[in-house]
Chain A
Amino acid sequence: GAGVSQSPSNKVTEKGKDVELRCDPISGHTALYWYRQSLGQGLEFLIYFQGNSAPDKSGLPSDRFSAERTGGSVSTLTIQRTQQEDSAVYLCASRKPTGGTEAFFGQGTRLTVV
């Protein structure tokens, strides 16, 4: 596709359940980011993948959060045992590998934990 695609666009889940959020980056973009946007908050960095390098997981808020990127393309963000404070919009972005170029964002997945 032409842009970064995220699915689902909305997800309502019960507290304690696991959820998986998917991101399809732009073809050829080797860099992929996950961010979280909570109500009234800025964009919180979660994790960054660059090619075959080890991901930068420094932003993951707890060990309930994990992400993988298969084949250097599609990425899945998994949240285990969801809590109400996990409710947010989860944004994925991708970028070409060379520095200074813009990151393209998907529409996000709005997660609501009830």
Chain B
Amino acid sequence: GDSVTQMEGPVTLSEEAFLTINCTYTATGYPSLFWYVQYPGEGLQLLLKATKADDKGSNKGFEATYRKETTSFHLEKGSVQVSDSAVYFCALKGIYNQGGKLIFGQGTELSVKP
């Protein structure tokens, strides 16, 4: 079945450092891909998405490119801020839907220090 694998955390960075959180997936065809973020004490929010190969999702300075050849959707940000401290989840929705459910990775906790 479809699955998502994320790099394990926690990840600790200094402010203004470059961020990469790796995400790879296993799925049939071309699933839709998502990054969700969970800030401390808050619910999950969609950060960005891409629905076809080579699409780049972007939001709040974060970017991720849908790479079919490497089945990856790595999250990047050029200069992180303390306010980016959160747990980040990579997710997919398969083309055969599997009931339409989203399949999530384990989550990666990011801590940004001033």
In the complex, B53 has a CB within 8 A of chain A: no
**B91 surroundings in chain A (CB, below 8 A):** 43
Q: How far is the CA of A43 from the CA of B90 in the complex (A)?
A: 10
The smallest beta-carbon distance between B49 and chain A, in angstroms, is: 7
With contact pairs A42-B105, A99-B93 given, residues A108 and B43 touching in the complex (Cβ less than 8 Å): yes
Contact A107/B43 with A56-B99, A100-B32 known, Cβ cut-off 8 Å: yes
Q: Which of A86-108 contact B (CB under 8 A)?
A: 91, 93, 95, 99-100, 102-108
Which residues from A are CB-within-8-Å of B36?
A: 105
Q: Nearest Cβ in chain B — how far from A29, in angstroms? A: 12
* Interface-centre pick from A4, A42, A105 (highest chain B CB count, 10 A): A42
- The number of residue pairs between A and B whose CB atoms lie closer than 8 Å in the complex comes to 59
* Contact A41 B100, CB 8 Å, known A102-B34, A105-B44, A107-B42: no
Verify if B45 is at the interface (C-beta below 8 Å from A): yes
Query: Is A48's CB under 8 angstroms from B100's CB?
Result: yes
- Any chain A CB within 8 A of the CB of B102? yes
Q: Report the separation of the CA atoms of residues A93 and B106 in the bound assembly, to the nearest whole angstrom.
A: 18
CB-CB < 8 A to A4: which residues of B? 43
B60 within 8 A of partner (CB): no
Cα-based distance from A42 to B75 in the complex (angstroms): 17
Collect the chain A residues with CB atoms within 8 Å of residue B32's CB: 99-100
9 other A-B residue contacts (CB within 8 Å) besides A33-B101, A106-B43: A33-B102, A42-B106, A42-B107, A43-B91, A48-B100, A56-B98, A91-B43, A100-B93, A103-B102
Closest 3 CB pairs of A and B: A56-B99, A42-B106, A43-B104
